[in-house]
């Protein structure tokens, strides 16, 4: 059973948040490379990727039978599985965990879908508090410009079509993302998220992130060339 309010352990947990197209995955991949090059053991975890729940969520999405409640609960189950199976063990062993989206994604999306804000927060109370939670703040049109040009067709739930905002999937996506962006702005204050200006160049943002992460690495173990754990700095 998940114990309430688990401790971080000896490791560090760094998470990235923001609307679609804000540049989270780009920045996290660069951060991961930087950490690995320095010998830190890094575990990567991604939203909606747990082997336990993925198929159920996929079936629900493909058949369009997920409601706001079941959408919320399946994603919470996914998060719980990754927390217990991946995130907690890696942190307890003193490693770095990088998470592409975290509970704040649920706080934004589920609330936009009409789930009670306190309910979602209570549901995720088993979540480990991150060492650093970055929020990539970007105007809606910038994010839309980045993704609508270069990506495959939007999916039903991704565009928030279940909310009935518009029959046009692109328009629905815009309206849905706008509401999610409003939630992120509130969340950044509520949880003290570390705001990054995501309109800056990839390099500038990465330099800022590394400067913020660096002091948090003090005392974190590294792997030696032979794969052994060491505390050498
Ligand atoms: N600072 C930037 N300036 C210009 N383009 C960028 C910047 N950062 C990322 N991009 C580009 O924007 C697109 C979306 O970036 P990315 O996949 O990192 O976003 P994301 O926040 O992870 O989106 P999603 O939530 O959909 O996974 C990619 O094509 C990426 O190369
Ligand atoms: Mg991404």
Range of the domain at 168: 19-218
C-alpha–C-alpha distance, residues 167 and 81, integer Å: 35
CA 1–ligand 2 middle distance (angstroms): 30
The reply to whether 173 falls in a domain is yes
Q: Which atom of ligand 1 is nearest to the CA of 16?
A: 21
C-alpha 25 – ligand 1 centre gap (Å) = 7
Which atom of ligand 1 is nearest to 136's Cα? 21
Cβ–Cβ under 8 Å, residues 77 and 53: yes
| 3 state DSSP class of 193 | coil
Query: Of the candidates 107, 112, 104, which has an alpha carbon nearest to the alpha carbon of residue 132?
Result: 104
| Domain of residue 80, CATH code | 3.40.50.300
36 vs 41: CA distance, rounded Å:
7
The CA distance from 47 to 78, in Å, is: 8
Residue 226 within any structural domain of the chain: no
Closest ligand relative to 23 C-alpha: 1
Rounded to 10°, the helix 68-82/103-112 angle is 180
Which among 88, 77, 62 is positioned nearest to 5, based on CA atoms? 88
Question: What number does the ligand 1 atom closest to the CA of 29 have?
Answer: 18
* Inside any domain, residue 107: yes
Instruction: Please report the pLDDT score of residue 224 as a whole number.
Output: 73
The residue whose CA has the least distance to atom 26 of ligand 1 is 20
- The domain total for the chain is 1
For ligand 1, atom 29, which residue shows the shortest CA distance?
146
70 located within any domain = yes
Q: What is the pLDDT of residue 6?
A: 54
Residues 173, 144: Cα–Cα separation, whole Å: 9
Nearest Cα neighbor of 177 from 116, 105, 123 is 105
Examine residue 68 and state whether it is found in any structural domain, yes or no: yes
d(CA 55, CA 48): 10
pLDDT at 151: 63
**143 Cα to the center of ligand 2, angstroms:** 12
Identify which of 15, 23, 24 to mutate to test ligand 1's pocket (most ligand atoms within 8 A of the CB): 23
Closest ligand 1 atom to 199 CA: 1
Rounded to the nearest whole angstrom, what is the distance from the C-alpha of residue 100 to the centroid of ligand 2?
7
Q: Residues lining ligand 1, judged by CB closer than 6 Å?
A: 18, 20-26, 146-147, 150, 201-202, 205
> Is 12 a domain residue?
no
Prediction pTM value: 0.93
pLDDT less than 50: residues of the chain: 1, 4-5, 231-233
Query: Is 230 part of a structural domain of the chain?
Result: no
Using the mean position of ligand 2's atoms as its centre, give its distance from the Cα of residue 25 in Å. Answer: 4
Q: Is position 32 within any domain?
A: yes
């Amino acid at each position: 059973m998940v114990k309430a309010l688990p401790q971080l352990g000896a490791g560090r947990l760094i998470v990235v948040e923001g609307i679609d197209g804000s540049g989270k995955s780009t920045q996290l991949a660069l951060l991961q490379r930087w950490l690995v090059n320095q010998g830190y053991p890094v575990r990567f975890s991604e939203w909606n990727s747990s082997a336990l729940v993925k198929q159920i969520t996929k079936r629900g999405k493909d058949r369009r039978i997920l409601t706001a409640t079941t959408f919320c609960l399946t994603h919470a189950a996914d998060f719980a599985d990754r927390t217990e199976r991946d995130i907690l063990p890696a942190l307890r062993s003193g490693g770095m965990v990088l998470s592409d989206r975290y509970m704040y994604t649920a706080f934004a999306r589920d609330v936009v879908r009409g789930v009670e804000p306190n309910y979602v927060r209570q549901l995720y109370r088993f979540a480990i508090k991150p060492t650093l939670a970055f929020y990539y703040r970007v105007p809606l049109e910038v994010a839309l410009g980045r993704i609508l040009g270069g990506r495959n067709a939007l999916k039903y739930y991704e565009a928030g079509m279940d909310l009935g905002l518009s029959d046009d999937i692109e328009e629905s996506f815009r309206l849905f993302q706008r509401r999610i962006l409003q939630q992120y702005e509130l969340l950044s204050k509520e949880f003290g998220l570390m705001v990054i200006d995501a309109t800056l160049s990839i390099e500038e943002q990465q330099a800022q992130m590394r400067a913020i992460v660096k002091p948090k690495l003090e005392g974190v173990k590294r792997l030696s060339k032979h794969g052994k754990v060491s505390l050498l700095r």
